[in-house]
Amino acid sequence: MKGVEIFIRGTVQGVGFRPFIYNLARQHGLSGTVCNTGDGVAIHTSCSKEELEAFIGAVRSKAPPLSRIQSIEHGPKEIEIEDGRFTISKSSGTSSADASIPPDIALCADCLSEMQDPNDPRFAYPFINCTNCGPRFTIVEKIPYDRQQTSMKVFPMCEACTRDYEDPGNRRFHAQPNACPLCGPQVSWHDQAGNKIETKSPLTDTAVALAANKLVAIRGLGGFHLSCNALEEKAVAQLRERKRRPHKPLAIMVQSIDIAKKYCFISEQEIALLSSIEHPIVLLQKRPDTDLAQGLAPHITELGIMLAYTPLHHLLFQESTCPQALVMTSGNSSGTPICTGNAEAIDRLGPIVDNFLLHNRDIVTRIDDSVTRVSGKKPLILRRARGYVPSPIHCKWTLPATIGCGGGLKSTFCLGKKNSLFTSQHIGDLSNLESYDFFQESIEHLKKVFDIEPEIAVCDLHPDYLSTHYAKALGIPLYQVQHHHAHATAVMAEHGLKDPVIAIILDGTGYGDDGTSWGGEILQADLTSFTRLAHLSHLRLPGGDKAATEPWRMGISALHSLYGDGLSDKNIPTALRQIERDKREPLLSMLNNNFNSPLTSSCGRLFDTVSSLLGICQKMSYEGQAAMELEDRARRCLNSTWKNDLISEDYDQFPFLLDDRGITWEINSLQLIKTVLDDIQMGKKTPEIALRFHLLLIKNITALTLQLCTQTGLNQVVLSGGCMQNAIILEGLRHTMATHNISVFTGENIPINDGGISLGQTITGGLQHVSRNSHEGNQGRG
């Protein structure tokens, strides 16, 4: 019979969409079918034009909360339907970039209530879930999203679960991870060697161990956490020693907002972010009177907190002996990917922990916790992973099948096709074989899930990045996009900006198109090209890459640039005099002879320099440590009126010079450093000097940007780069630009650090390919 096919694309699988359509169709008196396909959801029915419009309107207005509708199309089709019946049909087709599966979602209130009800069949069940919550991305092998295509296929449903699954009025109607204590996954308690310990309650034993300051590896949604008592210095110190992570801040988990408020100051926007369906880690300001272990975040007053997001976490906190705050840090040895398998974890984490809390539901895709903060009352994603991936970013442009391979640090990749951009979960630093294997495995998995076989590859200009080698080895057309241009176009793609912008990119490092190290850049950029308008003046990197991990080298380098042969102990701040002379002298010789001392315009190295001169950090044990600790000192002087000083400045009075080639403008880094040294000589306090440096940098960048906006006629500014994670810099620049009626854009759903450049690469390389093919096609017709 003649009927109509309605086709819906977007995040419509794994979110209760077919049950929603089933019930909605019955409410509208429609007969027909609904099924998952490789592209989305297909509905076959027979109805009048008026009935069709009413039904589609209801689909849009009442769609399940976890769904994201990208498009709804309809047209005539020959169909077979049974009058008076509407049914859910078996899934059909293969996967496609037009379909999207949702991320893993935090436990919903309904499931939490059932889990706490002694009369409920899923009482105290650590894997309770429904169509509104639970695992998705981490258990999916491929789509269409059905139980047999997930790691739940080895758990046949019992009669009771089957009834729930088949009942249109039940919250678990076609919930693919549906299970109960009789038929689903189970937890188990193990010793350090992985031997199973028979016990009535693995969760009780876990709580007792944590209260006794033991370290426990806990298998979660996307991998393992290393956990300990966050209230005890001894436990935290032991974790740091065993994991060889001396200073990098550790995230903690608590059960509720009320508990989080005991430890941190929390705004309404931060509460909303903490309790969102993603339940990310949120960076918050620590209360000074907290009883948390000081070793959680040495020299930093900011703390990463997340709420319990799985039923297992909630049950653990409900144990009477469980500490109120637990460290939950990635279950890996430093620098390697998070462990997912039980055997793998026992092998790799056994030397670190005392016990294991395991379960037997396979993790198909490893994924870390996402990290966020609130900036200017808006959420800012710093690490995009659990809760957000694999949700696509939809852009305004149609792309060929493209892979953006990312950079070297905070690595991600991005698959683009048509107008969908799928950025991977956080991979980490591509500095070892394990991380590179994870990178390649993740690419193959997402290619399979979304049926994207790249036609072109895009990578960074840096010749030594493993991601660059990977892209070149694919043997398909290759495009290389400059690092900071990719930062800019990622933001442009997210916000749909097609016209040229002024892009302020403050970063640690990026390979420039002149072969030098860039990182403090003001560009005029569109989606396919850029011009470098200005940058921070150059500093030298004595020892090359070593200078990026040992800020004292940058301190000595700056002093050498300022004083040359006149440098003596009286010019050297007290903090650097503590560096042994037998270390300083070879470095000065290196600088005098211009040996292994490349130039850089890096903003990150400028922060390192100031951090060193102030004696805040001379040697880093994690990326960004010196800059983070410098920002923290500056925060200690902030008050509610700190932005007023930025507004009152006369930005027409700032002098800027062209560089040696007379092409680009420069902000004088050495003059900023000289101001810091003068303040040190005057005996000002470190926090005061640190804040003044931040404000001077904001003022200089603002003044030059306003000059360039006038010069170019552009009124849209993009802010990105790793140093824009500094809340003072980001909020300060947003404020000064807004007061001068400049439209400001920054990454919100995509990280502004190097985790976002793969998306920028994908959009830029993809559009360059389209443009080149169009140009060649026109030449051929000519």
- CB hemisphere CA count around 410 (13 angstroms): 24
Cβ(98)–Cβ(73) under 8 Å? no
Q: How many CB atoms lie within 10 A of CB 521?
A: 30
Query: pLDDT over 70 for what percent of the chain?
Result: 98
Distances (CA, A) of 745 to 134, 230, 602, 620: 33, 37, 22, 31
- How far apart (Å, rounded) are the C-alpha atoms in residues 624 and 750? 19
Token reading at 175: 């919930």
85 flagged as catalytic: no
3-class secondary structure per residue, 488-546? HHHHHHHHCCCCCEEEEEEEEEEECCCCCEEEEEEEEECCCCEEEEEEECCEECCCHHH
What digits encode the pLDDT tens for the residues 718-730?
A: 999 999 999 999 9
Other beta carbons within 10 Å of 336: 18
18, 383, 384, 734: which is the annotated catalytic residue? 18
287 is catalytic: no
**pLDDT per position as a tens digit, 93-124:** 655 555 568 899 999 999 999 999 999 999 99
Q: Kindly list the structural domains of the chain, giving each domain's residue range(s) and its CATH number in brackets, ordered by start.
A: 2-97 (3.30.70.100), 187-363 (3.90.870.40), 373-502+752-774 (3.30.420.360), 506-516+533-746 (3.30.420.40)
For residue 456, which phi and psi values (nearest 5 degrees)?
Answer: -135, 155
Alpha carbon distance 271, 269 (integer Å)? 5
Tell which residue, 719, 502, 732, 518, has the closest CA to residue 604: 518
Task: Give the number of other Cβ atoms within 10 Å of residue 165's Cβ.
Answer: 17
Which residue ranges of the chain lie beneath pLDDT 50?
781-782
Tell me how far apart the alpha carbons of residues 291 and 268 are, in angstroms, rounded to a whole number: 23
Q: What spatial distance separates the first Cα and last Cα of the chain, rounded to whole Å?
A: 50
**pLDDT of 182:** 98
Q: How far apart are CA 291 and CA 206, in angstroms?
A: 22
436 φ, ψ (degrees, to nearest 5): -65, -40
* Cis peptide upstream of residue 144 (ω within 30 degrees of 0): yes
- The whole-number pLDDT of residue 776 equals 64
Q: How many helices (H) and strands (E) does the chain have?
A: 23, 31
> Which listed residue (9, 23, 26, 36) is catalytic?
36
